Amino acid sequence: MTALDIHSLGGGDIRTPHTVEVLPRVVRHATGRNAEGKSVFLSTDDDDHHHRELVNKSAIATINYSTYQHPVELNGDVDIEYAHENEPDISVENGSACRMVDFAPGGASPMQRVNSLDCTVVIEGVFRMILDSGGERTMQRGDIAVQQSTAHRWVNVTGNGLLPARILVVPLNINDPHAGGEKVQRKLGLPRRDSVWLPSHKTEDGPDRGRFAKFHENDYWESEF
């Protein structure tokens, strides 16, 4: 594996400056192998290179890496080239994704379900995880939620809703889940009813915003988290 440039993985990312200054910068170290088979560092970069704002600017998702097949093909830089040119879906069929999501102070996601197995770790702050059944848990730094196609929402309650917070999400593709003999359907949320604004983030549209440039009042959102 050569030291191929793997900056800005995911060709559809919005490359606006990350301005959540209270939270530590996300630094990604990517490794591989040289011609002698020894392990080497291919790249070290921060989250300015591979993140995008989520709908209504309620959060910022840093796309750390993604794969599109299982087992993953590492030979010939196939995985790096694919990740460099493609932004992953919420869950990747036969693949995986790894995202860090920063929430605004008091930020809340819509109630939603994505048909995937999600491993979610609280990195910074305190969250309330609420299920459509009414069940809820308070999660603190280091806690993990293993979500099996779960209808849920996240509420950032850090500092009584006055501070930002961060989670790490790794969604894995699954077979269609069933309950009571029926296929479990995805649930989509309306972001403007449940989400808050991140006023410090830049809002101007630019050439790099690509297909994510415009969102409207009645847009449905399939959450990244």
Of residues 151 and 14, more confidently modeled: 151
pLDDT score for 207: 33
pLDDT range class, residue 8, cuts 50, 70, 90:
very low
CB 12 within 8 A of CB 84: no
- Per-residue pLDDT of 83-138, as tens digits, reads 777 766 666 677 788 888 999 898 888 888 877 889 999 999 999 999 999 999 99
Give residue 122's pLDDT: 98
State residue 90's pLDDT score. Answer: 66
Distance from C-alpha of 92 to C-alpha of 192, rounded to nearest angstrom: 26
Closest CA to 201 of 103, 106, 86, 72: 103
pLDDT band at 175 (very low <50, low <70, confident <90, very high): confident
Question: 27 or 69: which carries more pLDDT confidence?
Answer: 27
**Superfamily (CATH H level) for 50-80+88-202:** Jelly Rolls (2.60.120.10)
pLDDT at residue 214 greater than cutoff 70: no
Domain extents in the chain: 50-80+88-202
User: pLDDT: is 140 or 87 the higher one?
Assistant: 140
Mean pLDDT of 54-60: 69
Kindly report the pTM of this predicted structure.
0.71
